[in-house]
Amino acid sequence: MSVPTLTSAPVSRLNPAPDGVGGLAPSAPALTLKVGGVTPFSATDYPGQFTAVVFVQGCPWRCGYCHNPHLQPRTARSPVPWSDVLALLQRRVGLIDAVVFSGGEPTMDPALLDAVRAVRALGFGVGLHSAGMYPRRLAEVLPLVDWLGLDVKASWQGYDAITGISDSARQVRAGVERVLASGVAYECRTTVHPALHSEADILALAQGLQAMGVRHYALQVFRATGSRDARLTAASTLGYPGAELLARIAPMFDSFSLRQA
């Protein structure tokens, strides 16, 4: 995943989240998308496509391995005006295939649907990165999305330890179900770290996703860039996860990959 080129410092408090999710959310609907940064070109955020990546402010969770923690709060003013983003994208017509909305958590922003429509009107495909914690909002935008990267943090029992928010798995499971029912191309992926995910945990997670009907899965080994958790950044991930575990997981899915740090 890309890292935004333009960011801002947190300045505002966040309030209880929509969709019944514990955590934080914007206090009022935004009139335009709150953008924390933009990457004008990426070849890694949407498989097989050249893209620009729009990083949306706000995330209700506080995962220690997050490499964009500066995007977690929603500031009073958008660091990058949406009008400037559209102007940039107009200049990228013919140079890129699609626009990816990442974050943060894009579905946290009430303006996402209108932003996606504006991007499609320019002729771009649309990719979305989401952790699935707002299933109703996710379902609203899925008909306009061409590909989804869905972050599944842990087995359902281990979710709260990763996100720092109680009962965080419940809505995510509903989000996964909506993605599978939508027919939209997708990949489920999990960032793993030996201090957070034992190999038994990873196997249980993979088995749970397989049982739900997930067919496309990737493991992403933790990378230290951006993480504010010294315990995680100091630990070695050499040889993790092991080859035997990967050999057990691979046959569970139509496509499976491991992305090293």
When pLDDT is cut at 50, 70 and 90, the band that residue 15 belongs to is very low
Q: Tell me how far the alpha carbon of residue 222 is from its chain's centroid.
A: 14
Architecture of domain 35-259: Alpha-Beta Barrel (3.20)
3-class SS of residue 41: strand
Residue 29 has pLDDT above 80, yes or no: no
Measured CA angle at 41 (ends 29, 74), to 5 deg:
25
Three-state DSSP state, 73? coil
Whether the CA torsion 104, 110, 113, 119 is positive or negative: it is negative
More confident site: 3 or 7: 3
pLDDT bracket for residue 26 (50, 70, 90): very low
State how far the Cα of 205 lies from the Cα of 229, in Å rounded to an integer.
23
Checking if the pLDDT of 53 tops 90, the result is yes
pLDDT in tens, 79-97: 999 999 999 999 999 999 9
Q: Hey, what are 247's tokens? A: 């050999």
219-239 b/e (C-beta count within 10 Å ≥ 16 → b):
bbbbbeeebebeebbebebee
